Amino acid sequence: MSDLFQVRPARAPDVHGIAALVNGYAAQAVMLPRSAESIALALDDFVVAADCHGRVVACGALKQYSPSLAEVASVAVAPEAHGHGAGRAIVSAVERLARIRGVDEVFALTLTPAFFEAVGYGVDDRARYPEKLRRDCAACARRSACREVCVSRTLLAEPIDAAA
C-alpha cells in the first residue's frame, strides 16, 4: 500500500468525489461524463484511492458486458496525485474485482493508450467488442470522430492476490 493513498472499494460518501474527478476530465473532453446518480447506482463497481484525509484522489470502475468480459472504465487520478502509482493501483484493483467476478478479459477505450500499455495492456481492435459498440458507441455524439484507442488484457492464469 502507498503512504500517499489507500485503494479500497467505493462507499456512498465517495460519490461526489468520484463525480468531481471524472467530470473535471470530461469537461476537458478527456473522459466521458458520469452523473452522481449513475455513479451511486453502480457504486459496487467502483474502486477509489483516498488520501489521508479520506479525500478521493483516484477512481476506476468495472463495467461488465458478459460473464467473462468487462471494461475498465472511468479511470481518473487527480492532477496533484499524478505520477505516484495511483493510476496503476486503480487499474490493478479493478482487475482484482474482475477476477473475483469471474471475468477473464478486460478492455478499455482511452485517449491515453500509453498509460494502459505501461500497466500491461495491448492495443486491440475495438471491433472485437461489439457489446461496447452497441451499448455506448452507437449513441455517442463523437462516434464519427472518435479518437479513443482500444486496449485489452487477458486476466486468465493470473492469481488472485489474497493479501492485497
Residue ranges in contact with ligand COA by CB under 6 A: 25, 30-31, 75-77, 82-88, 110-112, 114-115, 118-119
The three cell numbers of residue 25 are: 476530465
Which CB, 4 or 100, lies closer to ligand COA?
4
| Least spacing, CB of residue 24 vs ligand COA, in Å | 9
Q: Do 36 and 16 meet the contact criterion of CB atoms below 8 Å apart?
A: yes
Q: Do 113 and 141 meet the contact criterion of CB atoms below 8 Å apart?
A: no
The three cell numbers of residue 102 are: 469471474
Which CB, 41 or 111, lies closer to ligand COA?
111
Cα dihedral 118, 114, 30, 81 in deg (nearest 10)? 40
| Least spacing, CB of residue 75 vs ligand COA, in Å | 4
Which CB, 67 or 85, lies closer to ligand COA?
85
| Least spacing, CB of residue 5 vs ligand COA, in Å | 10
Report the chain's C-alpha Rg in angstroms.
Answer: 15
Closest chain position to ligand COA (CB): 87
Q: How far is CA 144 from its chain centroid?
A: 23
Q: How far is CA 29 from its chain centroid?
A: 16
| Least spacing, CB of residue 156 vs ligand COA, in Å | 23
Which CB, 29 or 102, lies closer to ligand COA?
29
